[in-house]
Structure 1
Amino acid sequence: MELSDNTSKGKVIASGIIPFAFVIIMMAYIFGPGADLLDLGIPLPEITIEKVDFVDSEIQATVRNTGPIPVEVVMADVNDRIHPAAVEPDGFLERYETALVRIPFDWNEAEPYIIGITVDDGTRFEKEIEAAAPALQPTLDLAVFFAIIGTYVGIIPVMIGLLWLPFIKKISKSKYHFFLALTAGLLLFLALDSIEEAIEVSDESLAGSFNGALLVATVVVLSFLGLYYSGEKLVQRASSSKFAKPVAIALMISIGIGLHNFGEGLAIGAAVGMGSIAFSTFLIVGFALHNTTEGIAIAAPMSRGKLMIGKLAAMGMIAGSPAIFGAWIGGFVYSPFTSVIFLGIGAGAIFQVIVILMKWLREEGDKNLSSASVASGFAVGMLVMYLTSIFV
């Protein structure tokens, strides 16, 4: 009997492996003996200029081979004028390999430039810079500057929003449902905003071979599934206490908002590095007004538990402080690919929190989620976020 069981298990395993084996054989044939049969055209080179830095009397362009064939960088130009250039580590690039092209050039701050790279077959690729700005060098003063900006746009607004907790704690059940739905509306806007930013970054700085929109969609879904599973486990553990569950949900909201603010910090740091943003008082106030609503999202679930100042402050730090780390990374080691990934993760995290909130609203007594308080709360949340985003 045991032998029969082992035989049946072996058949099941074999039936699962055999299709994969045929796929491997097919791919080996296509890229091996069958390659000539599929050679129906001429593969074209593609170079992506991912980043341009202006350093002292030099322009440095980071290039990546995003085409299907190896290429060699042979020439560089600035504003259609050829200039001598050094390529590090060398000019020959396999697919997805990167190189640094260093062009000696006396550039002027705030002037526009077009950087061109030509490969061995004569194809030229270019990137336009609207206004040249000195590349940021990691210094203590600049790190402190980014920390201050991250505090202004991340931590302080969230902490101000948490001050709504005493008010939410004293309102009726229907009004409480309104604020829970308002929270969901706020979060939905943040998720859509993250997706929009991720697609914008991919369109501007990622090559078409990365399939930017599909990359964003994949990261959002995987992030949602992974965090939804871990979030469900967290809520289940907290279900034994009516006071622990609100804390668990508030923690998930804080993490989701924190991931979003990390992406926002990346954008701020990158913008400072490119010299395309001026941090005026009006801009700081605009960010603060927009992000203050994030504190309400954390305060709403926490209002149904015991008032725990320490945990509330910790939630605010989890939600707001990632803006500082994002600004550091965006300013000093910005990468379009990682920016798209983190923005997608932030959107997925927020979507899973929205699902958790909707489930909690049902458990709170609003079974069909179609009451006036829920519908109006959701709508007001979206509207408030849109109106405050206009000031940013």
Structure 2
Amino acid sequence: MEPGARSRAGTWLLGLLPLCVIALAVAAAALLDVPGLTGRLGPPAEELAVERTVLRPGSIELVVRNQGPDPVTVAQVMVNDAFVDVPLGRTEIGRLGTATVRVVHPWVEGEAYEVGLLTSTGGLIVHEIPVAVATPDPSGFLGLMALIGTYVGVIPVAIGMFWLPWLRRVPPGRLRGLMALTVGLLAWLAIDASVEGLEVAGQGAGALGGAGLVLLGAATAYLLLSGVSAWLAARPGGADGPRLTLLVAVGIGLHNLGEGLAIGSAYAVGALALGATLVIGFAVHNTTEGLAIVAPVADRRVAPGRLVVLGLIAGAPAIAGAWLGAAAVQPALAALLLGFGVGAIVQVITQLGPTLRDDAGRTLHPISICGILGGMALMYATGLLS
């Protein structure tokens, strides 16, 4: 072996040495049954999280996950303080394992129910159903979810992109204000996705990451898009103009993925009113996203085909999100995906920052501040409609 290869091998062995030592220590502790590692004081820690509720005629199904350190066995089930039959048996649910608890019990649409899961050790986990509504069959509304995703994602973004001819007539000095308006729009989307992600994370098992999944998704998307941005900047033409607007479309698309998740999930549990008011509200709210996409290319010509592709990148993820949500996507995965949207939008805002600078090199000047606040206010106002 050559001296250089021996040196590299020695370096790797030194790096692995602490890992080998800790592995040997753990193995020795397990074999010797070291006091303090296996002994337990007090009752077992039983924690069940209800991740999904399915209501069928004459039955209630709860998909539960064990988020505690100890196995859990569901022995009895109560509905509104009355014990009911459960054809589940005494199935033990291991750590992070899932099980479906099916309760044979007639329920009345529109009524509220409280389901109590009594464990074999006497613990009680209570789950509330505020309004009982039959759960639709996911296989029957994929087409409907695609249609709704088109209504609230693709069409509004495409309509908003029709602002491009008007933007080209705006004096160059005022484009800074419009770019600041774009930053404000995106900032509100990031706030909205963060709140939604934290809310969804709280509905699932905290042992899978909880709110940390939103931060993990945000950091992952931010770093990935930063790498893409650096790669684009190294190519001829830099990362300005058309390539910058591509990043904006990607960021908005990831946000619309989360929006579609919320729509699909709500429909899956029968909590989505498919009325014209809801569709119109989402449409008006998302139309402003089209403005954010075309603003970076207001000073140059863009092929119509490219605009179509950008519109699909930004709007079509709403369809995919609706499908995922309707198929009972896990809360932990939904929180992670919503975090992706947050990180992507924050990275895009970072890219747009230099376009706000005035002749003195200031990013935050009166025009940009008014534009940012105006964009956030616009998104808030249109969000009230949905």
Alpha-carbon distance in structure 1 between the residues aligned to 2:34 and 2:196: 40
Match in the other structure for 1:15: 14
Percent identity, aligned pairs only, is 35
Are 1:117 and 1:125, in contact at CA under 8 Å, matched by a contact in 2? yes
**Structure 2 equivalent of residue 169 of structure 1:** 168
Once the 2 structures are TM-superposed, how far is the Cα of residue 241 of structure 1 from its aligned partner?
3.6
Change in 2 beyond 3 A, CA 1:31/1:357: farther
User: Aligned residue for 1:291?
Assistant: 286
Runs of 4+ residues deviating >6 angstroms? none
1:219 to 205, 217, 220: 217
1:219 maps to amino acid: G
Higher mean displacement: 128-137 or 3-12 = 3-12
Instruction: Give 2:205's aligned residue.
Output: 207
Partner of 2:226: 228
The structure-2 alpha-carbon separation of the partners of 1:330 and 1:386, relative to structure 1 and needing over 3 Å to count, comes to same
Aligned residues: 384
The SS at the match of 2:241 is helix
Question: CA separation of 1:62/1:32 partners in 2, compared to 1, >3 Å: closer, same or farther?
Answer: farther
How far residue 116 of structure 1 moved from its aligned partner, in angstroms, is 1.7
Write the distance in 2 (CA, Å) between the matches of 1:303 and 1:32: 69
Q: Tell me which residue corresponds to 2:134.
A: 134
More displaced stretch, 37-46 vs 372-381: 37-46
Runs of 5+ unmatched residues, structure 2: none
- Where structure 1 has 5 or more consecutive residues not aligned to the other structure, the ranges are none
Task: Please report the TM-score for the alignment, with normalisation by the length of structure 2.
Answer: 0.92
- What do residues 276-326 of structure 1 show as CA deviations (whole Å, max 9, x unaligned)? 232332222221121111111101012233231111121111111111221
Alignment of 1:272-287 (within 5 A): 272-287=267-282
Q: By how many angstroms is 1:13 displaced?
A: 1.7
Q: Are the counterparts in 2 of residues 50 and 61 from structure 1 also a CA contact under 8 Å?
A: yes
Q: Kindly state the Cα deviation for residue 31 of structure 1 after the two structures are TM-superposed.
A: 5.7
TM-score by length of 1: 0.91
Q: CA deviation at 1:275?
A: 2.3
Alpha-carbon offset, residue 130 of structure 1:
0.8
Aligned to 1:57: 58
Per-residue CA deviation, residues 309-347 of structure 1 (Å, 9 max, x unaligned), is: 111121111111111221122123332111111101111
- Tell me, in whole angstroms, the C-alpha distance in 2 between the residues paired with 1:79 and 1:382: 45
Determine if contact 1:249/1:301 at 8 Å carries over to the other structure.
yes
The answer as to whether partners of 2:77 and 2:85 remain within 8 angstroms in 1 is: yes
Q: Distance in 2 between matches of 1:108 and 1:117?
A: 20
CA RMSD of aligned residues (A): 2.3
Q: How does 1:1-392 map to 2 (within 5 A)?
A: 3-28=2-27, 33=32, 36-38=35-37, 39=39, 41-42=41-42, 43-87=44-88, 91-140=91-140, 142-203=141-202, 205-237=203-235, 240-241=236-237, 245-361=240-356, 367-392=361-386
Q: Is the 8 A contact 2:55 2:61 kept in 1?
A: yes
168-177 vs 335-344, greater mean Cα deviation:
168-177
Contact 1:265 1:327 in 2 (8 A): yes
Shift of the alpha carbon at 1:65? 1.0
Closer/same/farther in 2, CA of residues 25 and 185 from structure 1, 3 Å limit: farther
C-alpha contact 1:137 1:332 (8 A) present in aligned 2: no
CA shift digits 1:322-373 (9 cap, x unpaired)? 11221122123332111111101111111111111124555x9673312333
Cα distance in 1, alignment partners of residues 211 and 338 from structure 2: 12
Alpha-carbon spacing, 1:130–1:29, altered in 2? closer, same or farther (3 Å): farther
